Amino acid sequence: MVQKDAYEALEHKIMALRENSRTGDERKTLDEVFDRDTILGIYKLMTDGYIDTIQYPVSTGKEGNVFAAADAEGKLYALKVYRTSNATFNRIAKYIEGDKRFKGLSGSRRKIIYAWASKEFRNLQRLEDVGVKVPSPIRYYRNMLVMQYIGSKAGPAPLLRQVTLDDPEEVYSTLIEYMRLAYQEAKLVHADLSEYNILYYRKRPVIIDVGQAVLTDHVNAKDFLLRDIENVNRFFRGLEVSILSRDEALRTITEASK
Looking at 5, 209, 217, 223, which residue is catalytic?
209
Closest residue to ligand ATP using C-beta atoms: 61
Based on CB atoms, which residue is closest to Mg ion, 231 or 244? 231
Looking at 48, 192, 228, 247, which residue is catalytic?
192
Which residues in 141-160 contact ligand ATP (CB under 6 A)? 147-151, 156, 159
**Among this protein's residues, is 52 annotated catalytic?**
no
Based on CB atoms, which residue is closest to ligand ATP, 98 or 151? 151
Q: Which residues contact 62 (CB under 8 A, 6 or more apart)?
A: 88, 91
> % helix / strand / coil in the chain, to the nearest 5?
45, 20, 35
Q: Based on the shown chain and the rule CB under 6 A, indicate whether residue 63 belongs to the binding site for ligand ATP.
A: yes
- Nearest to 188, CA basis, from 221, 225, 215, 208: 215
DSSP-derived 3-state class of residue 80: strand
Answer whether 66's CB lies under 8 Å from 57's CB.
yes
Q: CA angle, 58 as apex, 53 and 59 as ends, to 5°?
A: 130
Q: CA angle, 12 as apex, 8 and 16 as ends, to 5°?
A: 170
Contact stretch for ligand ATP (CB under 6 A) within 11-19, 56-64, 111-119, 248-256: 56-64
Answer whether 39's CB lies under 8 Å from 144's CB.
no
Give the C-alpha distances (Å, rounded to integers) separating 130 from 179, 201, 206: 11, 19, 14
Q: Based on the shown chain and the rule CB under 5 A, indicate whether residue 209 belongs to the binding site for Mg ion.
A: yes
Among 14, 46, 78, 79, binds ligand ATP (CB under 6 A): 78
Answer whether 38's CB lies under 8 Å from 81's CB.
yes
Q: Based on the shown chain and the rule CB under 6 A, indicate whether residue 41 belongs to the binding site for ligand ATP.
A: no
Based on CB atoms, which residue is closest to Mg ion, 102 or 196? 196
Contact stretch for ligand ATP (CB under 6 A) within 4-12, 59-67, 228-236, 250-258: 59-67
- Nearest to 87, CA basis, from 106, 65, 121, 64: 64
**Among this protein's residues, is 192 annotated catalytic?**
yes
Q: Based on the shown chain and the rule CB under 5 A, indicate whether residue 197 belongs to the binding site for Mg ion.
A: yes
Q: Based on the shown chain and the rule CB under 6 A, indicate whether residue 98 belongs to the binding site for ligand ATP.
A: no
Kindly list the residues in this chain that would bind Mg ion in the complex (CB under 5 A).
Answer: 197, 209
Kindly list the residues in this chain that would bind ligand ATP in the complex (CB under 6 A).
Answer: 58-59, 61-64, 66, 78, 80, 135, 147-151, 156, 159, 197, 208-209
Tell me which residues are annotated as active site.
192, 209
